[in-house]
Amino acid sequence: MKKILIFLLVFAAVQLYAQDLNLYKQIVKELSSEKYQGRGYAYDGANKAGKYLQKEFEKTGADEVTTQPFKLSINTFPGKMEMSVDGKKQVPGVDFTMREFSPGVKGTFPLYFIDTANYDAEKIFKDLAKPENKDVFVVCDFWFSYKHGKDFRKLQIKDSCTNAGLIFTWEEPLKFYKAYGEFVVDKPIIWVPERFPKDAKTVTVNIENKFLKDYECFNVIAKVEGRRHDSCYVFTAHYDHLGNLGKDVFYAGANDNASGTAAIVTLAAYYAKNRPEYDMYFIAFSGEDANLRGSEWYAEHPVVPLAQIKYLFNIDMIGDNNPVQYCEVSDEGMRGFALFEKINDEQHHFKSLNRGELAGNSDHYPFAVRHVPCIFFENEEGDAFKYYHTVHDTYENALFDTYEPIFRLVREFVERYN
């Protein structure tokens, strides 16, 4: 009987985690599906995903599920996204992407390649002022342009130079960003792979942008009541992503960050069934890929005072398999980090916890600078990380090794933290 009882207890525990993993995968798959068009703004994908998450949090048995609206302004690319080089058609997201603050552009333009080996800015500007070089697209390696940023910024300003736009070569797979999309510059900036032909003569483009001013979006907040209400734990993840690059291409964002969002939903389900000591808040932020807009808004308008947060866990991009877990910790969270390391040493959830320098790279940052004890989990350098901000970050390429170790590490931390 004793052996049977032990078996039943182990089986029940395994079933609990299996159920969590199944729900986790289901949510990741749903959020990264075509239905939400990359959870961006042009086709309202982010808000559709937010409404889906409201329902999922309600299913967990959370005591309260609310939304927190806010507005942002963002540049998008919902329309034409066509490019050819010397008549050869290029594939959006694979052969080219746009810098997030680019305007639209249409026409056929000559190409002007920067000679980086014999770089002379004064000579180049004189050359570009010649009538035969009017309306060229300037082509250069991105990192070289970054090194000579002052010169290349002039090429982005309408009145400084007559070039029509810029093309920067970049390593593959090509990435797409939204962080600085709250404004639009004078000239388009296109990113292409380093294999871009060095002898190309012309580029033909038909690219449409749409600037959304005061676009309405929202954070989703679920609460599980604990036995005590004087303090709380907060679990966060962002559910928005990059959206579209034209009508036919969207960025699924399975790892970034359907994976973290799914994790906090399953944590809400766990605590709704296992009543915690303290109140628990689960916040799915929008606007993270638009420069942390949702978390900044929440930090300025919290539903409970920030001083009541015992610890905040920000979970981002855990759809991977690196056995070393990357994290960042606020100054006030360092006492808690010692406990995380102790638990990990005892339970071997990961080979190690690699703590990096605190940075404004995800939704923990607005809380860290406001002196909230917090930790950021992100699984870097696994097999899925190479797809970060690319069209290949799909459900098919997501990995699920990190989910259960994170779930257990966080759960055990909550049980032992004082």
Assess whether pLDDT exceeds 50 at residue 7. no
142/247 same-domain check: no
pLDDT at position 9: 45
Give the CATH number for residue 406.
3.40.630.10
Do 178 and 278 have their domain in common?
no
Q: Is residue 9 part of a domain?
A: no
pLDDT at 1: 52
CATH code for the domain in which residue 201 is found: 3.50.30
Same domain, 257 and 274: yes
Residue type at 192? Answer: V
pLDDT at 8: 44
Q: Is 291 inside a domain boundary? A: yes
Mean pLDDT score, 57-74: 98
Point out the domain boundary residue: 145, 175, 207.
207
Q: Do the domain assignments include residue 92?
A: yes
Query: What pLDDT does residue 85 have?
Result: 98
Q: Do residues 328 and 359 touch, judged by C-beta distance below 8 A? A: yes
Cα-only R_g, the chain: 24
In sequence order, the 6+-apart residues with CB closer than 8 A to the CB of 272 are 60, 61, 62, 63, 224
Same domain, 142 and 268: no
| Residue 165, domain member (yes or no) | yes
Q: Considering the entire predicted model, what is its pTM?
A: 0.94
* Same domain flag for 202 and 238: no
Q: How much is the pLDDT for 160?
A: 87
Which token pair is 369? 């600078």
Q: What is the mean pLDDT of residues 299-308?
A: 98
Q: Is residue 6 part of a domain?
A: no
Q: Is residue 167 one of the residues assigned to a domain?
A: yes
Chosen domain end from 155, 187, 207: 207
12 in a structural domain: no
Amino acid letter, residue 257: N
pLDDT of 16: 47
Q: What is the mean pLDDT of the chain?
A: 95
Q: Specify the DSSP class assigned to residue 258.
A: I
pLDDT digits (tens, 9 = 90+) for 337-379: 999 999 999 999 999 999 999 999 999 999 999 999 999 999 9
Predicted pLDDT of residue 189: 98
pLDDT in tens, 373-402: 999 999 988 999 999 999 999 999 999 999
Answer yes or no: do 238 and 380 share one domain.
yes
- Cα–Cα distance between 320 and 242 in angstroms, integer? 19
Which residues of 58-164 form beta strands (DSSP E)? 64-76, 81-85, 88-89, 97-98, 105-113, 137-141
Rounded distance between C-alpha atoms, residue 166 and residue 155, angstroms: 8
181 belongs to a structural domain: yes
CB-CB contact of 405 with 324 (8 Å): no
Residues 275 and 408 in one domain: yes
- Domain hosting 181: range is 81-207
Separation of alpha carbons 203 and 261, rounded Å: 40
- Spatial neighbors of 4 by CB under 8 A, at least 6 apart, are none
Which candidate, 206, 203, 204, 211, places its Cα nearest to that of 185? Answer: 211
Confidence of residue 2 (pLDDT cuts 50, 70, 90): low
Number of domain units in the chain: 2
Specify whether 347 is located in the same domain as 372: yes
Q: Are residues 360 and 222 part of one domain? A: yes
Over the stretch 68-109, which tens digit does the pLDDT of each residue have?
A: 999 999 999 999 999 999 999 999 999 999 999 999 999 999
Burial class (CB in 10 A: 0-12, 13-18, 19+), 9: exposed
Same domain, 133 and 233: no
Whether residue 45 is found in the same domain as residue 145: no
**Last residue within a domain, chosen from 207, 233, 264:** 207
Task: Note whether 222 and 357 are same-domain residues.
Answer: yes
